[in-house]
Amino acid sequence: MRLSEILNLVWVNILENKFKVLLTSLGIIVGAATIVLVIAIGQGGKLDVQEQFKNLNAGTVEVKYQPNLTAGMGGIMMGNAAPPGGGAPPSGGFAGSGGRTMGSGTGSSGSRSSSSRGSNIPVNNMFSATLSEDDVEEIALFVPNITAVSISASGSYSIEGGILEESTTATVAGVQPTYAGITNLQVLVGEFITEENIKNADKVAVLGRTLAEDTFGSVIEAYDSVISVDGRSYTVIGVLDSMGTVASGISPDSAIYIPYTTAKKYVMGRGINPSISVVARDVKYVDGVIEDIGIVLDSLHPGVTYTVSDAGTSMEAATKSANTLSLLLIAVASIVFIVGGIGIMNVMFVSIKERTREIGILKALGCSKTDILIEFLLEANLMSTFGGLLGVVVSIFLMPLMQYTGVRVEATVKGWVLALAFAIITGTVFGFYPALKAASLKPIEALNYE
């Protein structure tokens, strides 16, 4: 039998049982739609990760003082204090993201840093080993292969002004002029913090666009207005363009940026715990930059623990998590295809029972075992392919509804192709055995079947 004749026979059988084919394909429809949606959710997750980190150069390294506090009898012990009995403090290692620690003094220097803190340190002195502008200068001077370095600190403080009827809370960040370049902040109106502002500890502020509009009604009204931060008045010298992402743990759209010296003097005081951001000249230099920063800070602050994270590693870890979640969801969705395949197999067995005499007649007319096998296998494939195509269409209509759940979905050709591939494979795998059983029927037994 020619292939065209087999295809014609398959097509006639499918058209005569349209409703049965639709019900049989239901499992495949659900499976295909699920696969497309799962991949779309995974792709949306990846894009979210990329947007969260787009404000940071992949070569950005962030250093932060990590208090190592141990509650004692009537006091707090910090850093790598000497153990009881007067022994030397344990030597520490330098580390990167994921909990790496940087530098700890040994020998006399380690003991000296411990004894200087004592065992009964008041809580308000707990940040005595905090990073400073001097550390920024030392890093800029002694760490090679870097393009920018900046210190910043942030916290939540009450603000008043503009059209606000009562005080509200906002993130206030004390930054240096280089911070804007490191985090890719774009000024829409006015200017960013300048060196002159830093030098004079000016009471000036740069507002995120969302905060400016919520506080003053518009960007234009916000510019050159006065806003109160923690009870002190600041002149708005600039408003940022919309960013929509997080930079250094801060949402720029709803934050207030003031000079670092001003933040240290008037807002955060002795409790300030800043971080230093360093940009490597290239991603390939990140590991070396981290090591060099460790050496510099270890010489400046022996016995003190710091944590380091780099944007590239954080982005890679977040992307891997998104990929792992996508694979897990695809594995779960593939179970739906197995259920759909079992449905196809059951229907095919029933169809063979109903068409046993037809199979006998075809064999009596000279159709080979291969012809019968191809016919029934094509029927199973067409049903699953139809289900796959319909599932893709259903997923396209479902995607806009997913937006209301707050989950970001991004349709991809890869998702459509994978869904169809799963459908075709399912039809082939689960349709093969029934087709083989049909092809193996003996002509005489098939013709005599009641």
pLDDT digits (tens, 9 = 90+) for 9-46: 667 777 777 777 777 788 888 888 888 888 888 778 77
Angle at 250 between CA 67 and CA 103, to 5 degrees: 30
Condensed to tens digits (0 to 9), the pLDDT of residues 382-401 reads 888 888 899 899 988 888 88
Indicate whether 238 pLDDT > 60: yes
Which tokens sit at 47?
């894009």
Lowest average pLDDT, out of 193-202, 206-215, 375-384, 439-448, goes to 439-448
For the chain, the distance separating the N- and C-terminal CA atoms, rounded to the nearest angstrom, is 26
Q: 195: how many CB neighbours lie within 10 A of its CB? A: 11
Lowest average pLDDT, out of 262-271, 304-313, 387-396, goes to 304-313
Indicate whether 417 pLDDT > 70: yes
Residue 207: the pLDDT is: 95
Condensed to tens digits (0 to 9), the pLDDT of residues 162-212 reads 998 888 999 999 999 999 888 888 899 999 999 999 999 999 999 999 999
Residue 229: the pLDDT is: 93
How many angstroms separate the CA atoms of 389 and 379, rounded? 15
The answer to whether the beta carbons of residues 239 and 190 sit under 8 Å apart is yes
Query: For residue 84, with 0-12 CB atoms within 10 Å meaning exposed, 13-18 middle and 19 or more buried, which class applies?
Result: exposed
**CB under 8 Å to 200, separation ≥6 — which residues?**
none
